[in-house]
């Protein structure tokens, strides 16, 4: 990484960065002026180190929202209708065995609990409402206008939740038939879903994560899936990517996996590459980039508006 970017003026960090831009790598650069994130998540960029060196960091808002939301709904449908098992039984000439699992469930009328009502969470709520789901949500800040327009309900974290060490409202966990994560991975949100939170969930809940694997205690998730506490999970992300071959989650038919590809569509990629190029051009032209480009560390004043 150092060899590749030591003399770079700008860097684009790809849609699923394998190698993080650590302080050591950033401090080894000679001319770097901007790190453009091809996506939203910043957990693999040392933003503080970049800021200290006067390097602008940008990410993209409004580029992947609908794409990831569609993928989230796909995973919700897939776990509800047991797509993994159904596909396996057809391919192995066990057509009738699927009926032994019992009937699957409809989504209409079911409650979806969304944790994080940012760009993606909002789109998930809109799509879920369109198919007749009821939506509860929790976010660090209440989004009253979105509540009204989407006809969804906000649940706040209570003093009792905080006292119990939970960062998610217990009421949301208890009421939801499906739970979907749409928050960034930070020190505050790491392992936000663990044994305590899973124990508070409704029996037979379905769980979906298209955000970051580090938000979830995978050992606790495995235990809940094998016990039936969680009926099924749709996971686009894992703590380690790609996962080790001995990751026990891989042995479960009740889990639908995708390889961190929720944003991987031709349209979203085209929009993202163009936005990253515009971010780089704007910084070198001394202009403030325009949305959907977002400056993460605006205190770095390397531009002036014309």
> In this predicted model, what pLDDT tens digit does every residue of 206-228 receive, in sequence order?
999 999 999 999 999 999 999 99
Residue 9 pLDDT exceeds 80: yes
Tell me the pLDDT of the chain averaged across its residues. 93
- Give Cβ neighbours of residue 180 (< 8 Å, ≥ 6 apart): 72, 76, 112, 113, 114, 115, 121, 124, 207, 208, 209, 210
In a domain, 285, yes or no: yes
Q: Could you tell me the strand order of the sheet in which 293-295 lies? A: 10-13, 34-37, 56-60, 293-295
pLDDT bucket at 14, cuts 50 / 70 / 90: confident
Residue 11 lies in domain: 2-63+264-295
Q: For residues 14 and 3, give the distance between their C-alpha atoms in angstroms, rounded to a whole number.
A: 17
Q: Give the pLDDT score at 299.
A: 87
What the block records as the tokens of 26 is 């950033």
Higher pLDDT, 29 or 17: 29
- pLDDT of amino acid 304: 46
Nearest to 37 by CA among 50, 24, 54: 50
Which candidate in 82, 170, 212, 218 is catalytic?
Answer: 212
Whether residue 171 sits in one domain with residue 113: yes
Looking at the fold, whether 98 and 190 belong to one and the same domain comes out as yes
95 and 176 share one domain: yes
pLDDT at 204 over 90: yes
Q: Are residues 31 and 77 in the same domain?
A: no
- Assess whether 98 and 115 both reside in one domain: yes
Q: 96 with 150: CB under 8 angstroms?
A: no
Same domain, 164 and 278: no
Count of Cβ atoms closer than 10 Å to residue 111 Cβ: 18
**Do 53 and 10 share a structural domain?**
yes
Q: Is the pLDDT of residue 39 over 80?
A: yes
Q: Is 71 among the catalytic positions? A: no
pLDDT of residue 302: 56
> For residue 40, what pLDDT is reported?
85
Q: Are residues 93 and 219 in the same domain?
A: yes
Predicted local confidence at residue 15, as pLDDT = 64
The token pair at 84 is 């993994």
Within its chain, how far is the Cα of 213 from the centroid?
Answer: 8
233 and 244 share one domain: yes
- Residue 271 maps to which CATH number? 3.40.50.720
User: Which range is least confidently modeled, 35-49, 72-86, 172-186, 288-302?
Assistant: 288-302
Q: How confident is the model at residue 47 (pLDDT cuts 50, 70, 90)?
A: very high
123 domain residue, yes or no = yes
Within its chain, how far is the Cα of 54 from the centroid?
A: 29
Active-site hit among 260, 270, 304, 305: 260
d(CA 170, CA 190): 18
Calculate mean pLDDT across residues 94-103: 89
pLDDT for 286: 86
Categorize the per-residue pLDDT at 301 as very low, low, confident or very high, splitting at 50, 70 and 90. Answer: low
pLDDT of residue 63: 85
pLDDT digits (tens, 9 = 90+) for 120-163: 999 999 999 999 999 999 999 999 999 999 999 999 999 999 99
Q: Is residue 59 part of a domain?
A: yes
| Domain-embedded: residue 291 | yes
What stretches of the chain show up as alpha helix (H) in DSSP? 2-5, 23-27, 47-52, 65-80, 83-91, 119-130, 144-150, 159-163, 170-175, 195-200, 218-227, 266-284
Among the listed residues 219, 241, 251, 270, the single catalytic one is 241
Residue at token pair 């560390």: 297
Mark whether 159 and 51 lie in a shared domain.
Answer: no
What mean pLDDT comes out for the span 167-179? 97
The answer to whether residue 129 is catalytic is no
Confidence class for position 102, pLDDT limits 50, 70, 90: confident
- Three-state DSSP class for 125? helix
Model pLDDT, residue 305: 46
Extract the tokens encoding 292: 């959907």
Residue 302 covered by a domain: no
Query: Is 55 domain-assigned?
Result: yes
**Into how many domains does the chain fold?**
2
Is residue 82 located within the same domain as residue 229?
A: yes
In a domain, 305, yes or no: no
Question: What pTM does this model have?
Answer: 0.88
Distance CA 34, CA 51 (A): 10
Listed residue (27, 18, 70) closest to 46, CA to CA: 27
In this structure, is the dihedral angle defined by the CA atoms of residues 165, 241, 39 and 255, taken in order, positive or negative? negative
In this structure, of 14-28, 238-252, 265-279, 291-305, the range with the lowest mean pLDDT score is: 291-305
Considering the domain architecture, whether residues 75 and 129 belong to the same structural domain is answered as: yes
151 is catalytic: no
Say which residues have a Cβ less than 8 Å from residue 103's Cβ, sequence separation at least 6: none
The verdict on residue 211 lying in a domain is yes
Nearest to 45 by CA among 146, 152, 150, 185: 185
């Amino acid at each position: 990484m150092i060899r590749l970017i030591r003399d770079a003026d700008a860097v684009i960090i790809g849609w699923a960065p394998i190698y993080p831009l650590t302080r050591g790598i950033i401090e080894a650069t000679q001319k770097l002026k901007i790190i453009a994130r091809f996506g939203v998540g910043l957990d693999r960029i040392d933003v503080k180190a970049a800021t200290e060196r006067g390097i602008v960091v940008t990410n993209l808002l409004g580029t992947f929202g609908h794409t990831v939301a569609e993928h989230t709904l796909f995973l919700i449908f897939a776990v509800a209708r047991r797509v993994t098992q159904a596909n396996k039984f057809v391919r192995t000439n066990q057509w009738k065995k699927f009926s032994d699992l019992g009937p699957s469930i409809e989504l209409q009328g079911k409650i979806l609990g969304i944790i994080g009502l940012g760009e993606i969470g909002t789109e998930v709520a809109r799509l879920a409402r369109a198919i007749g789901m009821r939506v509860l949500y929790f976010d660090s800040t209440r989004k009253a206008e979105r509540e009204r327009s989407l006809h969804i309900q906000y649940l706040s974290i209570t003093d009792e939740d905080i006292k119990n060490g939970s960062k998610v409202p217990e009421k949301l966990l208890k009421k939801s038939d499906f739970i979907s994560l749409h928050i960034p991975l930070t020190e505050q949100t790491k392992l936000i879903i663990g044994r305590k939170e899973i124990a508070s969930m409704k029996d037979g809940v379905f769980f979906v994560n298209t955000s970051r694997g580090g938000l979830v205690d995978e050992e606790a998730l495995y235990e809940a899936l094998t016990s039936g506490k969680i009926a099924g999970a749709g996971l686009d992300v894992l703590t380690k990517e790609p996962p080790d071959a001995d990751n026990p989650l891989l042995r479960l038919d009740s889990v639908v996996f995708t390889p961190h590809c929720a944003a991987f569509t031709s349209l979203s990629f085209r929009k993202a590459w163009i936005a990253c190029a515009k971010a780089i051009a704007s910084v070198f032209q001394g202009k403030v980039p325009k949305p959907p480009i977002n400056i993460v560390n605006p205190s770095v004043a390397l531009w002036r508006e014309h």
